[in-house]
Amino acid sequence: MYLEIVSPEATLFSGEVTSIAVPGVNGEFEMLKNHAPIISLLTEGNVKIYGSISLDEEIASKFTKPSDKVTWLPISSGVLEMIDNKAIVLVD
How confident is the model over 26-54, as pLDDT tens digits? Answer: 999 999 999 999 999 999 999 999 999 99
CA distance 50 to 61: 18
CB 51 within 8 A of CB 29: no
pLDDT in tens, 67-86: 989 999 999 999 999 999 99
Give the CA radius of gyration of the chain. 12
Domain ranges of the chain: 2-91
SS3 content of the chain, % helix, strand, coil (to 5): 5, 60, 35
Confidence at residue 62, expressed as pLDDT on a 0 to 100 scale? 94
Confidence at residue 56, expressed as pLDDT on a 0 to 100 scale? 87
CB 48 within 8 A of CB 20: yes
- pTM of the predicted model, to two decimals? 0.93
Confidence at residue 66, expressed as pLDDT on a 0 to 100 scale? 92
Topology, domain 2-91: ATP Synthase; domain 1 (2.60.15)
